[in-house]
């Protein structure tokens, strides 16, 4: 019985990793679209600041979301 449970946990962790990558990729696409729209509207940002800030924000938002989703699940156990 321990083997199926261990396998299920491994699969769940893999899916969570893929989920974080997918959400990060989606958020990055939205932020790039927003940046390009603002640039065309005449609001210009320093590209170096965007290059550094955007990945930090995207990974931070995805990590906080995962922590908030997992936290209530661990309280009950």
**What is the per-residue pLDDT across 17-53, written as a single tens digit (0 to 9) for each?**
787 788 778 878 888 888 889 889 999 888 888 878 8
For the chain, give the percent of residues with pLDDT over 90.
5
Q: What is the pTM of this model?
A: 0.56
Write down the mean pLDDT value for the chain: 80
How long, in residues, is the chain? Answer: 77
| pLDDT beyond 90 at 65 | no
Q: Higher pLDDT residue, 72 or 64?
A: 64
Contacts 24+ apart (CB under 8 A), 66-69: 66/16, 66/19, 66/20
């Amino acid at each position: 019985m321990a083997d199926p449970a261990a396998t299920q946990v491994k699969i769940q962790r893999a899916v969570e990793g893929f989920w974080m990558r997918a959400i990060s990729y989606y958020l990055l696409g939205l932020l790039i679209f927003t940046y390009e729209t603002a640039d065309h509207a005449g609001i210009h940002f320093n590209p170096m600041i965007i290059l550094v800030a955007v990945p930090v924000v995207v990974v931070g938002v995805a990590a906080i979301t995962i922590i908030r989703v997992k936290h209530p699940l661990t309280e009950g156990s």
